Amino acid sequence: MDYNLIAKEIYEKIGGKENLISAAHCATRLRLVVGDNEKIDKSSIENIDGVKGAFIASGQLQIILGTGVVNKVYNEFTQVAGIEETSKEELKTISTKKENLFKRCIKTIGDIFVPIIPAIVASGFLMGIIEALNFMVNNNFLQIDTSSSIYVFAKLFSNTAYIFLPILIAFSAGKVFGANPYLAAVIGMLMIHTELQNAWTVASEGVLKTQSVFFGLYEINMVGYQGHVIPVIIAVWILSLIEKKLHKVVPAMLDLFVTPLVSVFITGYLTLAAVGPVFVWIENGLIEIIQYILTIPYGIGSFLMGGAYATTVVSGVHHMYTVIDLGQIDKYGYTYWLPLASAANVAQGGAALAVALKTKNKKLKSMALPSSLSAFMGITEPAIFGVNIRYMRPFIAASIGAAFGALYASIVGLGATGTGVTGIFGILLHLHKPVQYIITMGIAVVVSFTLSWIFGIKED
């Protein structure tokens, strides 16, 4: 494979030096920020030898080259274009400036949650395992000592990330917003302080204590923010604004003492007195609207949402879905959104697999097969952008398959104990209803594969 030739052809097809702003790469994709998307010859790029697909997302032209290949092509590309290497973080900053406010907000949410997903996944898996073990013990399917240290500690570990979730979110948000992440963590701690009533006890005990604020203007409930997401993000954003302003106006000799003190106090007061209560109301409203749609009788709402899910991935809106998952887990004990997402992801794999098996185009086959396997694991970008949406019919087939999978999930009341993992390994978040999860995935794959096979693609 001639990496220099690939780099030269890509450089030419994006419009050359006049249109290139910056370049970076991730594990599988060359990521370019260009001045004018209209000057990109996308179809020609996709036909370059070694290129497995190309799409525009998050303000970047992303060219799928594959692990190992992308590094070599990138090195040649920087030489051909005469540019310096750019980190993925620097490229994000550049590309974000080209996006509208809504997309920047959605992207920010994604940037906050990506680093903490491993912690959420670990807790979610353990919660699923513990729940499955409890079910088997209570129904005499399994005999284990639930008082043993292994079981007791595992149960303790299983919900740790969710109990201290505001701290994880605050620390990550602090990094994203440019605040001191440790001050941000303090705000997260403040929001679940032991002097505040645990939010999970309000349903059974009612509100035990109130506090007047703003010199007696009104009263707020002295309740913590366990399980909440949006109020924490907004609070840390406010902290970042205050901290940055103080760094500019406070003398250097006092900055170390004054800035942290004033930043935390003002942010903390505003959070408990106003920001927290307002955004809890907004977050609860969002979760209730989503749940209302998902529980429309006969699974109609889930059918529509499942069918539309992949389209939201294309638009980038899916970065906010972790907020929905965590909000539902806090409110209902399960997230009914994740099974829908899982059905949509494996459906893309089913459609791509049909293309891989049916096409006679060797390049397309070599791209579609691994893309389908990736989608079955929950990573859908290669299947969506590299195969299905390029030919549209497989994408539509996958959307229909996802809709029917989501329909079944809604009818049987399938919910996940955690978030962050879909596809084959998503069953670990559904150990309380493993058969229903397998059937949901099976419906999505079979329907999408069948429709994609029947209607096929238009090949040159």
pLDDT tens by residue, the chain, 460 residues:
899 999 999 999 999 888 888 888 877 788 888 888 888 998 899 888 888 778 887 678 888 887 788 889 999 999 998 887 665 555 566 556 556 677 778 778 878 887 888 888 788 788 888 878 887 888 888 888 888 998 899 888 888 888 899 999 999 999 989 999 999 999 999 999 999 999 888 878 899 999 999 999 999 999 999 888 999 999 999 999 999 999 999 998 999 899 999 999 999 999 999 999 999 999 989 888 988 998 898 999 999 999 999 888 776 677 678 888 888 988 888 999 999 999 999 999 999 999 999 998 887 888 889 889 989 988 887 788 878 888 889 999 999 999 999 999 999 999 998 887 889 988 988 988 999 999 999 999 999 999 999 998 876 5
The predicted pLDDT at position 320 comes to: 76
User: Going by CATH, does the domain composed of 3-99 fall within 3.30.1360.60?
Assistant: yes
SS3 content of the chain, % helix, strand, coil (to 5): 70, 5, 25
> Rounded distance, CA 72 to CA 125, Å?
37
> Rounded distance, CA 235 to CA 143, Å?
47
For 64, phi then psi, to 5°, come to -80, 120
What sign for the dihedral angle of Cα 152, 157, 162, 166?
A: positive
Other Cβ atoms less than 10 A from the Cβ of 339: the count is 32
> Rounded distance, CA 174 to CA 182, Å?
8
Cβ-based neighbours of 52, under 8 Å, separated by 6 or more: 64, 65, 66, 366, 367, 371, 382, 386
C-alpha distances in angstroms, 47 versus 126, 371, 385, 390, 445? 45, 17, 14, 12, 28
The predicted pLDDT at position 241 comes to: 96
User: In the chain, where does the domain assigned CATH 3.30.1360.60 lie?
Assistant: 3-99
The predicted pLDDT at position 96 comes to: 60
For 197, phi then psi, to 5°, come to -65, 135
Give bridge partners of residue 64 from the DSSP assignment: 29, 53
What sign for the dihedral angle of Cα 135, 139, 144, 148?
A: positive
- Please list the active-site residues: 26
Are 53 and 84 in contact, with CB atoms under 8 Å apart?
A: no
Other Cβ atoms less than 10 A from the Cβ of 435: the count is 9
> Rounded distance, CA 108 to CA 99, Å?
12
Q: Would you tell me the crossing angle of helices 117-138 and 149-158 to the nearest 10 degrees?
A: 130
The total number of residues written for the chain in this structure: 460
Q: Output the six-digit token pair for 439.
A: 């059937």
Give bridge partners of residue 34 from the DSSP assignment: 20
The answer for 258, left when phi > 0, alpha when psi is -120 to 50, beta otherwise, is alpha
> Rounded distance, CA 307 to CA 217, Å?
48
Tell me the whole-structure pTM to 2 decimals: 0.75
> Rounded distance, CA 133 to CA 130, Å?
5
Angle at 459 between CA 398 and CA 16, to 5 degrees: 95
Residue located via tokens 């429709």: 451
Find how far residue 171's CA is from the centre of its chain.
17
> Rounded distance, CA 212 to CA 130, Å?
42
Are 421 and 382 in contact, with CB atoms under 8 Å apart?
A: no
Q: What is the DSSP string of 12-76?
A: HHTT-TTTEEEEEE-SSEEEEEES-GGG--HHHHHTSTT--EEEEETTEEEEE--TTHHHHHHHH
